[in-house]
Structures are given as structure tokens and as C-alpha cells.
A and B are shown apart, each in its own frame.
Chain A
Amino acid sequence: MAKPKLALYWAASCGGCEIAVLDIHEKILDVANAFDIVFWPVAMDFKYDDVRKMENKSIDLCLFNGSIRNSENEEIAHLLRAKSKALVAFGSCALEGGIPGLANLTTKDAILQFVYRDSPSTVKANGGLYPQTHTKMPEGEIEIPEMWETVKALDQVVDVDYYIPGCPPVPNQIWGVIEYILSGKPLPPKGSVIGAGVKTCCDECKRERKEKKLKQFFRPYEIAPKPDECLLDQGIVCMGPATRDGCGALCPTANMPCRGCYGPPPNQLDQGAKMVSALASVIDAQEPEEIEKILDQIADPIGTFYRFSLAHSILRRVEKS
């Protein structure tokens, strides 16, 4: 029997998801033995045309990481959707926009303006030129992809079969998913989140929780947290209550608050809304003035609560004003 075909792709992402795949260490050899890797731009020399020539639905499993931020990302998303039996949104960016999704806080113009004109490290010599999608050269016209105004998650562009959350997904969960597929057991229903839990990060966290009553919030650098007590109990905004489990509570274990990369827990649409609800419940104040004073201490609510999920939240982006 021919080996099942595997493709891996990166769209708008940092490459960390690819590293996470390699972090399964020597088991990567088992993956190479079990699958025929037909497309993996970061590691092997394939061209888009090789994929275009494939039969539709000929790739058995496609792990797609990265969000959709330009015309190239979108084109390849459609291409891989057509060629793949199972398309997996792999990692936070593909799942919910991820860090690139924070571009939805601002506009394309503002981003280009800063990067190509205003940033202190920009060389002004070229007159602040913006990249052009089409440029005439002596050899002919060359074309680069066009950047979109709004970053999207993979499932806002094409139909997605499965979701593996994480920034990046932790290696033991990746291996768990691959092992499961190799075992030949029936696949979970379409739309399932795989390689993660069904509770919240707090459920995996070993820190001791008490009844929370908070009058003051701190940013992580402002205090040295006690190692065994819940970080939120100590006034550090930890995304644990609004985040799916599956990572093993890596960040709280290392004395850092959860950043929320595994996305909202099951049946929650919006991580920020969940976090507003969770924090509002533990603030210890009844008077409007006092409440406002305490809320003032929570820095950058959108950037904190939607660090990975802004593009996939209910409102998806900040309005241009």
C-alpha cells in the first residue's frame, strides 16, 4: 500500500510551528517512514507548481500553520484545500489569527507608514517607498503578493477539518495526533479541536487557588510572585480561566501568567469576553469610582485578552477611525 501523503505549509507565521514539529525529535523519522511528505516549503524543495499538478484530494493530511494576511497566503490556502482530504489549522495563527492577528488593532496604511517611513531604523534614503505589487524590470514585470487590510484565520477563508491549537502546539500533543492517525482508528468528527483538552488551563495548573478578591492588579515585572499560589490570586492577569488546556500549564509553571495561546475553551466564542467575565467576578469593589480605579490597572485589555485570538473573536478587528 502506498504511504499516506503529508503536506505542511506556513502562511503568515513565524516558523515556530515548524520547529515544534521537529521538536518531536527522533520520532520525526517515524513520520518520514510512515508518510510520503509531498510539500513542506520550510524543509524541502517543492514548488507551488508541484502542488498545482497534484490530483484533487490527493494529499491525505495537510498541516497548515499561519494566518491569512496576503494574496499568496489566501491563494495557497485555496490550493491546499482543494488538494487535501483533511486540512488541519495547525497552531494559533491558522486557528485564530495568532500574533499576526494583532495587526487588526490598526490599519494596513498605519503599518506601512511605520515600517517603511517612521520607524527609527528605517533608512530614509529611498524616499520612503512602499513595496509595490507590480514592478517593471528590464527582464519584464515582477509581482509580489498584496498585503490585506485585515488578518484572517484559516477557517474564515476555506473550510477546515480539524484544529490543533497552541503557539506553538506542544510536541507531545503533535506526536499524540500523528500517532492516533497512524493507528488507523476512526477520525474524530469534522470541526474537532484535537491535540488539546476540553477544560481550561487552570485545570492543569498545579498552583493553589483560593477564593479570589482583588483590589490591585500587577504586571508580571512589578512583583515577584509566590511560587505555589495562583497567579491571578496574586493580582497578575493570567489568561488561564479563559484558555483551553492541553499545554500542561507551561507558563504558570515557569512563574509567568498564561498568555492564552490555546484559544478559548470549548463552547466559548470569545476569549476577551470570557476574561472580562472572569476578572469582573473577582474584583473586590462595589462603588463605581473604586471599580474604575481598579480597572485602570489592567493594561491593554484587547492586546492582553485577545493576544492570539483577535482575528477570530466576535468583532474580529478594531474599527478604523
Chain B
Amino acid sequence: MPFEPKIIGFLCNWCSYTGADLAGVSRIKSAPNVRAIRTMCSGRVDPAFILKAFALGADGVVVMGCHLGDCHYQEGNHKTIRRIPFLKRLIRDFGIDPRRLRLEWVSASEGDQFARIVNEMTEEIRKLGPLKLYIHSEIKQPAADA
């Protein structure tokens, strides 16, 4: 079977999740590789969530939030804009290609933007190939997607 990237998307409730929804209702075609997890804010995404996603078998992680200045909680995404570059450095040092982690701003009206990012990232991860980590051999993997 050809490699299909598994990507975990953490989507902020107020902008990006609604943006993804808009992409759906507008019937914009996009790759089915992103598994969306709705969070109240991109600032809610604890770096441990992202490391855990990689440990449990994600090939890529994308965090999507409101554009700067649009945060529902004033400055939640101002934390994210510093956290993700920091985490990219950390995973690079762990031996994970930093391109496997992305931060993107998607507003509620940007369904097309959501689809473009998802397609682009899926292709990029497809080229990078499956992520292989030591931890994958140590912990029991959850059952494969049905």
C-alpha cells in the first residue's frame, strides 16, 4: 500500500475550525489526511500534545489559529507564535524534520486557505515519508484507523 501521511491538525474553535467547516460546506476538495482536533484556542495547544502526537504515530502536526490581532482571547495566538518555532527547534534536536510541524493562520472565512494548506502539507509529508521514532517500538500503538 502506498504511504498515506497521518497528520494531526489542532484547530482553534473560533477561526480555523470554522474555516475548515467552510471548506466543507463550500465543497472544496482537500486531502483527507488531516485529522482535526478542535481546541478552544491555538494557545491551548500544549507542546506536550504535539510531542505525544508524534509519539503515537502522527507523521505531521499542523496547528491552526486566528490571524494575529483576531484572537478571541486577545493574545492566545501571541503565545503560539513563539511556542511553535521553539518547539520546531526542539523536535529538530530530537531528530524530527521541523517541516513536520507547521503553524498556520486560517480565519473563519478562509475555507480555500484551509484546503490549500492541507493539500500542501500532505504532499510535503508524503515526500518526507513516514516518521520513524524509537518510541514507536517501545509503546503499544493504538489500533490502526478503520
Contacts and interface: CB of A to CB of B under 8 A. Distances in A.
B51 A316 contact: no
A68 to B, nearest CB: 13
Nearest to B79: A281
B87 A276 contact: yes
Interface string A9-29: 000000000000000000000
Contacts of A318: 93-95
B4 to A, nearest CB: 22
B85 A273 contact: no
B141 to A, nearest CB: 15
A276 B90 contact: yes
Interface string B26-54: 00000000000000000000111011101
Contacts of A280: 79, 82-83, 86
Given A268-B48, A269-B48, A269-B52, A302 B85 contact: no
A173 B54 CA distance: 37
B138 interface: yes
A201 to B, nearest CB: 19
Contacts of A286: 68, 78, 81
B58 to A, nearest CB: 12
Interface of A: 150, 156, 268-270, 272-274, 276-277, 279-281, 283, 285-286, 288, 291-292, 295, 301-302, 305, 313-321
Interface of B: 46-48, 50-52, 54-55, 68, 78-79, 81-83, 85-87, 89-90, 93-96, 132-135, 138
Which 9 pairs between the two chains have the least Cβ-Cβ distance? A319-B95, A273-B48, A273-B47, A280-B83, A280-B82, A314-B51, A276-B47, A270-B48, A302-B93
